[in-house]
Structure 1
Amino acid sequence: MAQNNKNKLELTWIGKYDEHQSLEPRILIENKEYSYGKPETSTLPNGKPWNGNMLIHGDNLLALKALEQDLSGQVKCIYIDPPFNTGSRIDADGKEIGYDDGIEHSTWLSMMYARFNVLYNLLREDGAIFVHLDDNEADYCKIILDEIFGRSNFMNRITVDARSPSAFSTVNPGMFVSSEYILFYAKDRSNLIENRIRVPRTPDYAYNKFILNYDLPYSEWEFISVSEAFSKYGKVKSSNPETILKAYNKFIIENAERICRYTAISDSGAGQKVIELKKKSLVNPNDIFMLERNGLDNIYIINGQQLAFYSKNIQEIDGKCQPSKLLTDIWTDIAWEGIAKEGGVTFKRGKKPEKLIKRCLEIATSNPEDIVLDSFLGSGTTAAVAQKMDRRYIGIELGNHAYTHCVPRLKMVTDGTDQGGISKTQNWHGGSGFKFYELAPSLLKEDKYGNLVINKEYNADMLAAAMAKQEGYTYHPDQEVYWKQGFGSETDFIYTTTQFMTVEALSAIHDTMAEEETLLICCTAFQKECKQAFGNITIKKIPQMLLGRCEFDKDDYSLNIIDMPEMMESEEEETEE
């Protein structure tokens, strides 16, 4: 830890302050061979088009930079599960794992630091990020996130019970490690609406009073024990203890509105009206008093104590009414065993349960318009969950498993044939779809003399799109006016051409322009007279106008990702942790 000249504590490491050229803002090219379904299109709040769910194959730092111009401030929720930097590529069974995450510590920090800065820019002001890690880097990562997001925007460190001791694991000495962590940050805590989540729990038998005549006015209520009520009204003929307990639990759920218990009223924490009623009830034993509250549940008080009703703890969760409790920052209720085939793909020691991702999205998103992003997509779990929850999504994956895992999995989600994971609780039967994109190659490449020249892989449309992105314009070719290839505002346009630009050609364009319109022309060569020909036309030469602007001809900022095994390994090879 160090304190910089702005009086802000931050984590420093070798290489953090090394000079790096700016990332090249690449374009994305749709590969229609892998796009699937009918993803919904719309317009983003910033006025730019949303062309549907995105699955991007390519270096995730470059891909994030490619998204930044159009999607800055548009993403509602980010979940990432980056390499844990464990120092090993071999799992407990002696098999090679997907990520080569044994990266030297300072390199890991530098790579994540660069990504977090772009992710921060992509988040909405009311957005949130969830970063899933283990003990190896979680504490260092938190300090980085404190620096970028602000310590005041730290919401929770969620502890996840990620694995159970197995016969293999228990032979090793020392304490068995079962925990992983999710660092939960808001972009701006004051803007984030954190949805309250309830989770299933065992029945709470402390609620032991049953109101016999609940339908009568509260002043006439009579109480018996819940066990007496069950004996009297419960419908069970079996003498089997398990059957009786099951029937009892069903009974208290079905009668939750008339089941209650006494709770103490704190003189220091309760409101004045509640305290007054408490005092009144103490001098009127066994009488029930009620405080009516507009828009809130009424409060009932008897013998100086409040009646707490069991119905407040019964909630429909995953389509089933059951006892519940408020979600805490310790998650032990999500099963990790048996997820090996979730989504129809196998992903050793990297796959997360769909239910885990669903919970994160439930906390931070509410609407179908919300965009979810995962830049370490792995086997595609986050995208699959987002689609089943009717959220828009962007998934980025560098490895070959973008083809072998993510695409097949999301096709099954789109078709509705994937009925595992959260499909049944979401009543998912298919729909929507996704577009598959490749990260374009670098716009400029070195020639044999070491000079940066326009990449020969770029055709005219690609070049026009790339130059629009480089100059901060939205690429959107006009169907009628050829030189309106992109716009910066309603009256500012860009035109890119490889043709030699003459004054005559420039004049022909100028004659078709409205008085208030301006135009930037990017071309490979032009007559020098073009420079001053018209006040509302600016002309620049490529590639010279781009030199020194960003780091061209670099394609790999990766965290050393290697290919994953093919889809659906044999059952003999699968293990459950």
Structure 2
Amino acid sequence: MPTLHWIGKDKVINHHQDVPFRLLDHQYGALADGTQTPKPTGSGNQIIHGDNLEALKSLLPQYEGRVKCIYIDPPYNTGNEGWVYNDNVNDPKIKKWLSQVVGKEGEDLSRHDKWLCMMYPRLKLLHKLLAEDGAIFISIDENEQAHLKLLGDEIFGGANFINSLIWEKKFSPQNDAKYFSENHDFILCFAKSKSKWQRNLLTRTEEQDDRYKNPDNDFRGVWTSSDLTRPEHRDRDFYGITSPSGKVLHPAKGRSWSRPLDELERLKGDNRLWFGPKGDNMPRLKRFLTETKQGVVPQTIWKFQEVGHTQEAKQETNRILHDVASFATPKPTRLIERILQLATDKDSIVLDSFAGSGTTAHAVLKLNQQDGGNRKFILTEMEDYAEHITAERVKRVMQGYAGQPGTGGSFDYLTLGEPVFADGGELNERAGLPGLRQYIYYAETKQALPPLAEAEADNAAFLARHDDTAYYFHYEPNAVTTLNHDFLATMRTRAGQYIIYADNCLLPAEFLTQHGIIFKKIPRDISRF
């Protein structure tokens, strides 16, 4: 498989592993009635303000392998300046990140090198978050489409590429274009595992159903018809068939029937051939609506009439945020709805790590309102407008805007908090006990920490039991903890193996081995005690 090389690749190929684990600080919960609460809503919907690379890393303990659908609209790398969403890899935040990760070599990178350096570790983390039966959809234009395809092949696997979709984003041509009037963008789709991903069918429209009629009052209901000839001559399939009027019909010159004679005779006997109202036309195959799939297979070209265009997106966003700010590059809600219809079920988790104006959350809430679903959204946005544009739009969508009824719902607004580890490698105790417990369990099991079991509710050190192993984090912020017989007496869970974190261990190695206990020293400086 061809691979893509660029300056700085060797510096970022494993950078996702070096990104620090940060905890998420809850700021407030937003409710559909417009109020805010200091307590988490419990909805599962989140908007996270902070660098999306660190935000994605912070999501791993709870969401690795659980996200059903990812949509991202990353910078297209057009070089344009002055937008609210600065679509340019010369953005100061990106330049600072490159100087820290790539080093002095980054000063010589082209804007394509910079864009690839920025995207690679983010896609690696998105791959980790994606469920085995999930898929990612990435909007892009000509500037980086070819690079993105090769990048996706490398990270997700070329065998997991689904397709390149074409979105007709404009409804009028640009007559002042220098070369061509560009009226489409691409949406690249990759699955985590193509063999496990199953796309949904699109809902049939009234227009599609109106194509079915029943001129012969067939008891099987309305039908449409299709041609029964192929555009080539085959001797064995060039024969005459007698119509109800007694006329013997042959394919036109250079064509032949698409079915053998015995099959056409069988279809004729079952009244599945239509010879026209007088019974003397070339036969066509009747296809009954009741026998079609209860939906439509999606095509790779998405017309603006079906999923919206950029002007519609701007008008929609301006109606919602008319008194707050404009947003230059939103996507139409109908476009994201189409993706969600294809790639989610009613309980899916949806992630957008380049959230922009919050269109993905809008689409999730709208689709839930339509079908009674309980899809959950997670948005991350690094820019300063995360609260006054991204979150504000979602609040107004929940409440209702410009005559549109509210969708209902709620979400939690979070920011990036303390890293789990301090610069010296020791546990960052400012992170707080809940976050440390969650991280330790994830580091051991790659699973989200479940609620505390009732059997161990009186033991603050117990984390959970997983794969016949019980995990304990014996930690106190202001005291040294010890694994000894007194602590063992507090343990209630039976398991084949025990992994216990503490500051010290007073039990003999032979005893630990005999009882299936693995002691792990908490990485912190206890000299102050």
Structure 1 unaligned regions, length at least 5: 1-7, 39-49, 219-255, 318-323, 421-427, 546-577
Q: Which residue of 2 aligns with 1:101?
A: 89
Amino acid in the other structure paired with 2:430: E
Amino acid in the other structure paired with 2:367: M
Alignment of 1:376 with 2:354, yes or no, is yes
How many Å separate the matches in 2 of 1:18 and 1:262? 57
> 1:201 offset after TM fit, Å?
11
How many Å separate the matches in 2 of 1:203 and 1:464? 54
Alignment of 1:66 with 2:58, yes or no, is yes
Alignment of 1:430 with 2:430, yes or no, is no
Specify whether residues 73 and 298 from structure 1 end up closer, same or farther in structure 2 by C-alpha distance, changes over 3 A only.
Answer: farther
Alignment of 1:18 with 2:11, yes or no, is yes
How many Å separate the matches in 2 of 1:316 and 1:347? 40
Contact 2:22 2:54 survives alignment (8 Å) = no
**Map of 1:396-475 to 2, 5 A cutoff?**
396-417=380-401, 429-446=406-423, 451-455=424-428, 457-472=430-445, 474-475=448-449
- Name the SS for the 1:444 alignment partner: coil
- Name the SS for the 1:440 alignment partner: strand
Contact 1:201 1:325 survives alignment (8 Å) = no
How many Å separate the matches in 2 of 1:465 and 1:198? 41
> 1:305 offset after TM fit, Å?
1.8
How many Å separate the matches in 1 of 2:131 and 2:356? 24
Alignment of 1:195 with 2:213, yes or no, is no
How many Å separate the matches in 1 of 2:487 and 2:208? 76
Contact 1:277 1:301 survives alignment (8 Å) = no
> 1:129 offset after TM fit, Å?
1.4
2:2 to 3, 9, 14: 9
How many Å separate the matches in 2 of 1:53 and 1:278? 65
How many Å separate the matches in 2 of 1:460 and 1:210? 67
Q: Which residue of 2 aligns with 1:337?
A: 311
Q: Which residue of 2 aligns with 1:266?
A: 230
Specify whether residues 278 and 400 from structure 1 end up closer, same or farther in structure 2 by C-alpha distance, changes over 3 A only.
Answer: farther
Q: Which residue of 2 aligns with 1:182?
A: 187
Q: Which residue of 2 aligns with 1:553?
A: none
Choose 510-519 or 115-124, whichever is displaced more: 510-519
Contact 1:132 1:182 survives alignment (8 Å) = yes
> 1:439 offset after TM fit, Å?
2.6
Contact 2:20 2:419 survives alignment (8 Å) = no
Amino acid in the other structure paired with 1:355: R
> 1:355 offset after TM fit, Å?
0.6
How many Å separate the matches in 2 of 1:257 and 1:502? 77
Contact 2:133 2:196 survives alignment (8 Å) = yes
State percent identity of aligned pairs.
Answer: 27
Alignment of 1:539 with 2:501, yes or no, is no
Contact 2:120 2:151 survives alignment (8 Å) = yes
Contact 2:149 2:188 survives alignment (8 Å) = yes
Specify whether residues 348 and 197 from structure 1 end up closer, same or farther in structure 2 by C-alpha distance, changes over 3 A only.
Answer: same
Amino acid in the other structure paired with 2:395: K
2:45 to 25, 47, 53: 53
When the two structures are superposed, what TM-score results if normalisation uses the length of structure 1?
0.66
Contact 1:289 1:300 survives alignment (8 Å) = no
How many Å separate the matches in 1 of 2:233 and 2:148? 38
Contact 1:196 1:327 survives alignment (8 Å) = no
How many Å separate the matches in 1 of 2:3 and 2:213? 57
Specify whether residues 441 and 418 from structure 1 end up closer, same or farther in structure 2 by C-alpha distance, changes over 3 A only.
Answer: farther
How many Å separate the matches in 2 of 1:418 and 1:543? 55
Specify whether residues 267 and 279 from structure 1 end up closer, same or farther in structure 2 by C-alpha distance, changes over 3 A only.
Answer: farther
Q: Which residue of 2 aligns with 1:77?
A: 69
Q: Which residue of 2 aligns with 1:4?
A: none
How many Å separate the matches in 2 of 1:58 and 1:298? 65
- Name the SS for the 2:419 alignment partner: coil
Specify whether residues 501 and 177 from structure 1 end up closer, same or farther in structure 2 by C-alpha distance, changes over 3 A only.
Answer: same
1:119 to 126, 131, 134: 126
How many Å separate the matches in 1 of 2:497 and 2:52? 35
How many Å separate the matches in 1 of 2:133 and 2:272? 34
Q: Which residue of 2 aligns with 1:141?
A: 148
How many Å separate the matches in 2 of 1:61 and 1:262? 52
How many Å separate the matches in 2 of 1:289 and 1:194? 37
Q: Which residue of 2 aligns with 1:215?
A: 217
> 1:51 offset after TM fit, Å?
6.2
> 1:112 offset after TM fit, Å?
1.3
Contact 2:74 2:140 survives alignment (8 Å) = yes
When the two structures are superposed, what TM-score results if normalisation uses the length of structure 2?
0.71
Deviations 1:128-155 (CA, angstroms, capped at 9, x unpaired): 2111011111111001112222323322
Q: Which residue of 2 aligns with 1:520?
A: 499
How many Å separate the matches in 2 of 1:176 and 1:351? 20
Deviations 1:255-297 (CA, angstroms, capped at 9, x unpaired): x947x66734339899x9xx7997354993399977399xxx9
Amino acid in the other structure paired with 2:183: S
Q: Which residue of 1 aligns with 2:106?
A: none
- Name the SS for the 2:499 alignment partner: strand
Q: Which residue of 2 aligns with 1:560?
A: none
> 1:30 offset after TM fit, Å?
5.0
How many Å separate the matches in 2 of 1:279 and 1:286? 5
Amino acid in the other structure paired with 2:417: A
Amino acid in the other structure paired with 1:508: D
Specify whether residues 309 and 63 from structure 1 end up closer, same or farther in structure 2 by C-alpha distance, changes over 3 A only.
Answer: same
Q: Which has the higher helix share?
A: 2
Amino acid in the other structure paired with 2:168: D
Specify whether residues 24 and 153 from structure 1 end up closer, same or farther in structure 2 by C-alpha distance, changes over 3 A only.
Answer: closer
- Name the SS for the 2:362 alignment partner: helix
Contact 2:137 2:190 survives alignment (8 Å) = yes
Q: Which residue of 2 aligns with 1:306?
A: 284
Alignment of 1:364 with 2:339, yes or no, is no
Contact 1:263 1:308 survives alignment (8 Å) = no
- Name the SS for the 2:440 alignment partner: helix
Deviations 1:292-328 (CA, angstroms, capped at 9, x unpaired): 99xxx9732424421557979x9999xxxxxx99644
> 1:395 offset after TM fit, Å?
1.6
Q: Which residue of 2 aligns with 1:285?
A: 247
- Name the SS for the 2:143 alignment partner: coil
- Name the SS for the 2:165 alignment partner: strand
Specify whether residues 418 and 521 from structure 1 end up closer, same or farther in structure 2 by C-alpha distance, changes over 3 A only.
Answer: farther
Contact 2:505 2:519 survives alignment (8 Å) = no
**Map of 1:496-515 to 2, 5 A cutoff?**
496-498=474-476, 499-502=479-482, 506-513=484-491, 514=493
Contact 1:374 1:396 survives alignment (8 Å) = yes
Specify whether residues 99 and 487 from structure 1 end up closer, same or farther in structure 2 by C-alpha distance, changes over 3 A only.
Answer: farther
> 1:462 offset after TM fit, Å?
3.1
How many Å separate the matches in 1 of 2:149 and 2:43? 34
- Name the SS for the 2:187 alignment partner: strand
